[in-house]
Amino acid sequence: MAERVTVIVNPAAGRGRGAKALPAIRTAFAKHGINDVRTSASREDEGTLAARAVSEGATTIVAAGGDGTWSNVANAILTAGAGSRCRLAMIAAGTGNDFAKTTGSPSKDIPLTAQLAADGPDTRVDVGKIEQHFFLNIAGFGFDIAVLEDIGNIPWLKGDAVYIYSALRQIIGYGGVDIDVGTRGPKRHLMLIIANAKNFGGSFRIAPQASLTDGKLDAISIHDASAFGRLRLFGAAAKGTHIGQPEVTAEQATRFSLKFGSVPAYETDGEYRRASSAALEVTCIPQALRVVVPR
């Protein structure tokens, strides 16, 4: 059966990279008879456009943006219960583009992505869920949020560099947060990442043992450290060698229960959230989504 393809482009992704890619996207997809290209006007609009495409019978939705755009489109597919009949394909136009790195999606090759969306294979992957939000890549707490809040104050950098620069700005002064992960008891964290995929923040291999097909999530607890220790962990996380260091606890499970001293902020795939409770459950939904990738 021929795929019914809708392309959703976030023009604001990557600080305008999405808009610059739009002519190449239209040309590449038109060669395969795909002319249903829609542009989003806001973050909330991405989900609305994707939900409409699902209701109209789309069997593949191509999301052009970054991790946030891909996650918003995936949330619309999954919320509609269409994870079995509607696939996600990705074009990289964002800041970190981390999820595509783990899947092996050729997200930077627009002509190849168009070809795969039209008639290429796909694979089923796990997703995470926290409150009502599904996530493809990670859910993050603590230092992660401080960096995310700071990125908006750095308009002169793009791509991976903005994450690195912001992280260096925040790494000394951030005070940490107390989190009880499972039954460990409250402990001061620099950062907690619940990972479905390996990569995070553009340049960090935060969960090197994570798999998209094992039915589990990886909880990476980076506990508080001295200023020098924080810088050392920062460098190690870029290589994935932070796992096994004394300040780091790594655990795999299908579900994690988290407790905070007060209602926390968190992020899913780069999207800022405010929790509704100080107690949160994070779960893995196995093989919930079909993602277009080469064989």
Mean pLDDT by runs of 10 across the 295 residues of the chain is 90 88 97 96 89 97 95 96 94 89 94 96 97 96 81 69 75 87 88 94 87 97 88 88 93 97 93 95 98 94
Name the CATH topology of 138-286: Tumour Suppressor Smad4 (2.60.200)
pLDDT of residue 19: 93
Residue 1: its pLDDT value, please?
52
For domain 5-120, the CATH class is alpha beta
How many whole angstroms separate alpha carbon 167 and alpha carbon 231? 10
Please give the biggest Cα pair distance in the chain.
58
DSSP state of 204: B
pLDDT of residue 125: 97
Residue type for position 86: C
Q: What is the pLDDT of residue 60?
A: 98
Rg over CA atoms, the chain = 19
CB within 8 Å of 232: residues ≥ 6 apart: 225
pLDDT at 61: 98
Give the distance, in angstroms, between the CA of residue 29 and the centroid of all CA atoms in the same chain.
Answer: 25
Q: What is the dihedral of CA 232, 238, 239, 242, to 10 degrees?
A: 50
Residues pairing with 63 in the sheet: 8, 90
What are the structural domain ranges in the chain?
A: 5-120, 138-286
- CB-CB contact of 95 with 162 (8 Å): yes
Q: Are 5-120 and 138-286 in the same CATH fold?
A: no
Distance CA 178, CA 223 (A): 9
